[in-house]
Amino acid sequence: MPEPRTYLLADIARHINGEQLGDGNPEIRGIATLRHAGPHDLSFLTNSRYRPELAATRAAAVLLANEDRDATSRARILCSDPYLAYAQVVALLHPAPVPEPGTHPSAVVDPEAIIGSGTQLGAFCHVGKGVVIGRNVIVAPGCIIHANVHIGDQSLLHGNVTIYAGVRIGHRAIIHAGAVLGSDGFGMAREGEGWRKIPQIGGVLIGDDVEIGANTTIDRGALDDTIIEDGVKLDNQIQIAHNVHIGAHSAFAGCVGVAGSARIGRRCTIGGGSVVLGHLEIADDVHIGAAAVVTKSIREPGQYAGLYPLQDKAVWARNAALLRNLDKLERRVRQLEAGATGAGKGKSC
Amino acid sequence: MPEPRTYLLADIARHINGEQLGDGNPEIRGIATLRHAGPHDLSFLTNSRYRPELAATRAAAVLLANEDRDATSRARILCSDPYLAYAQVVALLHPAPVPEPGTHPSAVVDPEAIIGSGTQLGAFCHVGKGVVIGRNVIVAPGCIIHANVHIGDQSLLHGNVTIYAGVRIGHRAIIHAGAVLGSDGFGMAREGEGWRKIPQIGGVLIGDDVEIGANTTIDRGALDDTIIEDGVKLDNQIQIAHNVHIGAHSAFAGCVGVAGSARIGRRCTIGGGSVVLGHLEIADDVHIGAAAVVTKSIREPGQYAGLYPLQDKAVWARNAALLRNLDKLERRVRQLEAGATGAGKGKSC
Amino acid sequence: MPEPRTYLLADIARHINGEQLGDGNPEIRGIATLRHAGPHDLSFLTNSRYRPELAATRAAAVLLANEDRDATSRARILCSDPYLAYAQVVALLHPAPVPEPGTHPSAVVDPEAIIGSGTQLGAFCHVGKGVVIGRNVIVAPGCIIHANVHIGDQSLLHGNVTIYAGVRIGHRAIIHAGAVLGSDGFGMAREGEGWRKIPQIGGVLIGDDVEIGANTTIDRGALDDTIIEDGVKLDNQIQIAHNVHIGAHSAFAGCVGVAGSARIGRRCTIGGGSVVLGHLEIADDVHIGAAAVVTKSIREPGQYAGLYPLQDKAVWARNAALLRNLDKLERRVRQLEAGATGAGKGKSC
C-alpha cells in the first residue's frame, strides 16, 4: 500500500460534495474507524450503533449524514450518504496503483499479441497469440493469458490468474489472484457406464467494471457464451458454471455456486455460500440470503432465504429427527382433526 | 479455440453411426443450438421442450432421436442417443488441442526427469527430480510438478496447476487451471491447547480418463493413498480430503466437499455444493442432490436429497423459528393425543 | 517424500516418553495402519473399533494407550495419548523437508528485499520491494510475494501461492499451494444502480505456527487488519473475509466461509462447509458441526449444529413441502388445542 496523500478537510468536503462544519480546517492524512482514528484521521459515522464512540474519538474530523448535523460539535462534513462518501474519501486518500509501463524481461509474450500503451506486464506472465490487452492495464506476475483473450483498458489482474483462450474482458476489470476464467464447463454425455466429454466451445464475455474475487472460477460456455454483464461484483471462491448469464450490477458474496445455464437478473445480490441450480431464471432485484439454495425460478423481486437454523447440537439432533418424520407428525395432526370433527359430531347428536 | 473443420452431413452420419434422412448433403462447419444455428450448422433436439424451435431453426441439418423421425422434413440424422451423438459431433468438429512437442526455454526441468516423446512443456513450468511424464502430454504454462510425480500419456494440464511430490496420474487426464493435487491432508493431534501436525506421508493415485476442475484440491493420504478411480469427473472448486476413495465413473458437480476417509462407490453422482462427512461409505449408483449433507453411510443405490427449501424471507423466518422448536410442537400434538384419548375415555363413562 | 530413517523401538519409546514392553527391540523403518503394516513398521491403536485388527497385524510393534497394556503380547509402546504419540512418531520417521539454501536463478527478487540465511527461493518466484523473509524458509516455485510482505523463520510456502502487499506472516507457517493472502475485501458502496469499490487498505496479520490449506483465501482488512492468531489451522478452500479475527488454536475444516468482521474465539473448531455470517462473535471453545450456518453470536462454549438431514429424495420432497408450511401445521395444532379446551368447557357445562 503506497503512503496516503494529505488533504485539507475543506478539499475533501468539496470532493464529496459535502458541507463542512465546525472548527478549523485540519490536515487529513488518513481515514479510520471512530475507535482507531488518530489526530490526523478523518472518521465517519455510517451506522447509528457506533454513535457512542463519536464522543471519544480522537479523529481530526468526522463524516456524518445530514440528519446527524448536531451529533457533535467537532470539525465535520455532512453529506447525504456517508457510506458512499467514505468510499470516495478512501479512494481519494489511497488511489489505485498506477501501472509502471513495460514488460518484465522474464515475461513470454507472443509477437502477434497487441499490448496497449501504458500497460505493465509482470514477471513470468505468458501472453498467447492473438491476445489484445488495452491501455494502462496492470498484469501482475504469474498470469497465464491464452490465445485470443481480450482485456480492456485500465484493468488490473493480480498474481497467478489464468485466462483460457478466447475470453473477453471489458474495461476497468479487477481480477484477483488465482482466479480462473474460461475453464471447460462440466459437460458430458453418458456412454456405457462412463462419460464422454463434450468439448466446451463457447466463450466467456465479461462487461466493464467487473470485479472477480480470488480463486473464483468462471467456466466457458458449451456452445454459446457465459456472460457477466457490466458492473457485476463477484467475491472469492465463487463458481460460475457454463452458460450462466449474470445481469448488470449483481453482486455475489464468497463461496456462491451457480450451476449451468442459470440466468440471474440485474441488481441481484446473493449471500455467501448459496447455490443456484441450473437452467432457472432469477428476476431483477432479487436478494438471496446466505447459504440458501435456489431450486426454482424466482419471478418476483424481493428477499428470499432458506437455511437450517443453528442450535445446540443435542436440540438440533432431536428436531432434525422430527423433521425427517414431519409427514408422520402431520398425519397425527390430521387424525386428531378427524377425531375432533368426530367429537364435534358426537356432541351434535 | 481453433477453427472447426468442415464435413459433409453424410460423413457425420457415418461417424456417429446414424441414419441420414431428408434433402441434400449439406456442408457442416459448426454445431449450434436450434435457436442460434446458422445455415452451415448442424443442430440437435435432445430435449422435447425445445421442439417448438425445430420449425424456426436456420440450421443446415438436425440431429434427432430415432423416435423423432418425422418431427421435421429437413436434412437430419437419426440416432438412438442424440445427446451422446451431439458430444461426438462436437468432438469431431472441435478436436482436442494437439501438443506442439518441445520444452519452452523458460521451463525448469530436472535432468533426471523423463519426458515422453511428443510432449509439450510450457513456459515457467517446473518439473522436479524423478518426474515421469508420458507421451503427447500438454503441460500449459505455470505448472509446478514436484519430485517423483507420474503423468500418463495424452494428459492435459492447464495453467498454474500444482502437483505435490509423488502424485500418480493415469492416461488422458484433464486437469484444469489452479487445481492442486497432493497437498497435505488436514491431520493433527491435540497437544496442550493447540495442535501438532501429523505429517501426511500417503500419496494420491488417479486412474485413467479422469477430469479435474479448475481450483479443485485433492489432498494426499495420511499413511495410505487418496484414490480416484478411472473415469471420475470432478467439477471446479471441489475439495477431496485425505484417504478418500472415489469409485470409477463417479461425477461430482462444483463446490462439493468430501471429508477424510470417505469411500464413495462407482457411478455415483453428487450435486453441487454437497458435503460428504468423513469415514463413511456410499454404495455404487447413489445419486445425491445439490447442497445436501451425507452424514451416514448409504448402503442402497438410489436418489437422496436434503436441502432447506427457499422461501420469501419473512415466511422462512417464521418457519425456521418453528423448526427450532419442533420438539415443542410434537409435545403439543402428544398432549392433544393424550387428551383425545382422555376425552374418549371420558365420553365412554 | 524422502525415504524414512530407521530407528530401534527403544529409541522411539524414549522419544515419545512411552513405556516399552514385550519381546525384543525391533528395527522400525515406517509407520502404518494395523491392516497395512509390514514387518518393519510400527503400528498403533488409537480407536477401539480397530482392536480386532490387532491380532492379525504383521507390524513389528504397536503403539497403545496405557489402559490397553494387555491387549497384545507383542512388542509395544504404552503411552497416555497414542494419537499424539503417533503424530510424534510420523514426524520422527518423516522429518519436514530441509531447505536447500539459495535463490533459483529464474527467481526475480527485488534488491531491497531481505532474505534470511538458510532460506530457499524456488524457480519463478517473484519477491517485491521491502519484503522480509526470515531464516530457513522454503518458498516453492511459482510464489508471488508482493511488496513489504514479512514471512517468519522456518516457514514453508508451497507452489503458486500469492501474497499481496504488506501481509505479515509469523514463524513456522505452512501455506499450501494456490492459497491467496491479502486479496481485497468485498467492500463497496451503492452508487446509483451500481457499486463503488471501497479500496481495502487494511492488512493481514498471521501469527506463529499457522497452517493454511490449498486454494484458501484470506482477504485484507478494509481499514484495520484481518487477524489470524497463533496456531490456527485452516484446511483447503476456505474463505476468510476482511477484518475477520480468529483466536489462537482454532481449526476450520475444508470449504468453510467466514464473512466480514466476524470474531471467532480461541480453540474453536468449525466443520467442513459451514458458513459464519458477518459482524458476529463466537466465544472461545465453541464447536460448530459440518455444513452449519452461524447466524447469531454464540456466547457459550459448547457444541452446535444445524443441517438438513439427508433422506430418500421422495421422502425429502414430502417433508420439505411440509416444512415450507410449518406455520400452517402449527396453526392447525393451535386450533385443535382451542377445540380441546372448548370441548373441555363444553363437557364442564
A309 contacts on B by Cβ (under 8 Å): 320-321, 323-324
What is the C-alpha to C-alpha distance for residues C9 and C42, in angstroms, rounded to an integer? 8
What is the C-alpha to C-alpha distance for residues C73 and C64, in angstroms, rounded to an integer? 12
C326 contacts on A by Cβ (under 8 Å): 326
Q: Are A31 and A86 contacting, i.e. CB atoms less than 8 angstroms apart?
A: yes
Q: Are A45 and A64 contacting, i.e. CB atoms less than 8 angstroms apart?
A: yes
What is the C-alpha to C-alpha distance for residues B284 and B268, in angstroms, rounded to an integer? 6
Residue A250, pLDDT score? 98
Residues of B with a catalytic annotation lie at: 242
- Coil/strand/helix, residue C297: coil
Nearest CA in chain B to C346: B343
B109 contacts on C by Cβ (under 8 Å): none
For residue range C29-69, what is the model confidence (pLDDT) as tens digits? 999 999 999 999 999 998 888 889 999 999 999 999 999 99
Q: Are B94 and B111 contacting, i.e. CB atoms less than 8 angstroms apart?
A: no
Q: Are B226 and B243 contacting, i.e. CB atoms less than 8 angstroms apart?
A: yes
Angle between helices A313-324 and C313-324 (to 10 degrees): 110
Please report which helix (H) or strand (E) contains residue C201, including its range: none
Q: CB pairs below 8 Å between B and C: how many? A: 239
Cβ distance C215 to B215 less than 8 Å, yes or no, reads: yes
Among the partner residues B106, B224, B329, nearest to C330 by beta-carbon distance: B329
A275 in reach of chain C (CB within 8 A)? no
* Nearest-CA distance A168 → chain C (Å): 21
Among the partner residues C201, C308, C311, nearest to A1 by beta-carbon distance: C201
| Residue-level length of chain B | 349
Residue A47, pLDDT score? 85
What does the DSSP 8-state code read for residue A93? Answer: H
For residue range C135-144, what is the model confidence (pLDDT) as tens digits? 999 999 999 9
Would you say residue C194 has pLDDT above 50?
A: yes
Q: How many CA atoms lie within 13 A of A307 on its CB side?
A: 27
Residue A48, pLDDT score? 83
For residue range B272-298, what is the model confidence (pLDDT) as tens digits? 999 999 999 999 999 999 999 999 999
Cβ distance B305 to C316 less than 8 Å, yes or no, reads: yes
Q: What pairing do the DSSP bridges indicate for beta strands A269-270 and A281-282? A: unpaired
Residue C264, pLDDT score? 98
What is the C-alpha to C-alpha distance for residues A216 and B237, in angstroms, rounded to an integer? 8
ipTM of the complex: 0.95
Residue C3, pLDDT score? 60
Residue C24, pLDDT score? 84
Residue C47, pLDDT score? 85
For residue range A133-150, what is the model confidence (pLDDT) as tens digits? 999 999 999 999 999 999
List phi, psi (to 5°) of B91.
-65, -35
Q: How confident is the model at residue A4 (pLDDT cuts 50, 70, 90)?
A: low
What is the C-alpha to C-alpha distance for residues C158 and B164, in angstroms, rounded to an integer? 9
For residue range A165-199, what is the model confidence (pLDDT) as tens digits? 999 999 999 999 999 999 999 999 999 999 999 99
Would you say residue A68 has pLDDT above 60?
A: yes
Q: What is the pTM of this model?
A: 0.96
> Which stretches of chain B score pLDDT less than 70?
1-4, 342-349
Q: How confident is the model at residue C220 (pLDDT cuts 50, 70, 90)?
A: very high
* Nearest-CA distance C74 → chain B (Å): 22
Burial per residue of A312-322, b for 16 or more beta-carbon CB atoms within 10 angstroms, e otherwise: ebebbeebbeb
Cβ distance A308 to C292 less than 8 Å, yes or no, reads: yes
Cβ distance A180 to B326 less than 8 Å, yes or no, reads: no
- Cβ neighbours for A268, distance < 8 A, ≥ 6 positions apart: A247, A250, A251, A282, A284, A285, A286, A287, A288
Would you say residue A346 has pLDDT above 50?
A: no
Q: How confident is the model at residue C347 (pLDDT cuts 50, 70, 90)?
A: very low
For residue range A260-270, what is the model confidence (pLDDT) as tens digits? 999 999 999 99
Cβ distance A236 to C183 less than 8 Å, yes or no, reads: yes
Burial per residue of A54-72, b for 16 or more beta-carbon CB atoms within 10 angstroms, e otherwise: beebebbbbbbbeebeebb
What's the angle, vertex CA A65, arms to CA A62 and CA A68, rounded to 5? 85
Angle between helices B313-324 and C313-324 (to 10 degrees): 110
Cβ distance B236 to A180 less than 8 Å, yes or no, reads: yes
Residue A49, pLDDT score? 84
* Nearest-CA distance B309 → chain C (Å): 6
Tell me the percentage of chain A whose pLDDT exceeds 90: 92
Residue B344, pLDDT score? 44
Cβ distance C164 to A177 less than 8 Å, yes or no, reads: yes
Mean of per-residue pLDDT scores for chain A: 94
Among the partner residues B94, B159, B273, nearest to A199 by beta-carbon distance: B94
A156 in reach of chain C (CB within 8 A)? no
Residue B347, pLDDT score? 38
Cβ distance C305 to A325 less than 8 Å, yes or no, reads: no
List phi, psi (to 5°) of B182.
95, 10
- Cβ neighbours for C345, distance < 8 A, ≥ 6 positions apart: none
Cβ distance C308 to A312 less than 8 Å, yes or no, reads: no
Give all chains having 3 or more CB-to-CB distances under 8 Å with chain C. Answer: A, B
Please report which helix (H) or strand (E) contains residue B218, including its range: strand B217-219
Q: How many CA atoms lie within 13 A of B194 on its CB side?
A: 14
Would you say residue C100 has pLDDT above 60?
A: yes
Please report which helix (H) or strand (E) contains residue A65, including its range: strand A61-65
A336 in reach of chain C (CB within 8 A)? yes
C167 contacts on A by Cβ (under 8 Å): none
B333 contacts on C by Cβ (under 8 Å): 333
Cβ distance B201 to C177 less than 8 Å, yes or no, reads: no
Residue B346, pLDDT score? 38
A231 contacts on C by Cβ (under 8 Å): 194-195
Q: CB pairs below 8 Å between A and C: how many? A: 238
Exposed, middle or buried, B301 (CB in 10 Å: 0-12/13-18/19+)?
A: middle
Number of C-beta neighbours around residue A88 at 10 A? 22
- Long-range (24+ apart) CB contacts under 8 A made by B64-69 are B66/B19, B69/B21
* DSSP secondary structure of B104-133: -TT-EE-TT-EE-TT-EE-TT-EE-TT-EE
A343 in reach of chain B (CB within 8 A)? yes
* Nearest-CA distance C334 → chain A (Å): 11
Residue C260, pLDDT score? 97
* DSSP secondary structure of A238-255: -EE-TT-EE-TT-EE-TT
Between positions 39 and 78 of B, the ones with CB within 8 A of A are none
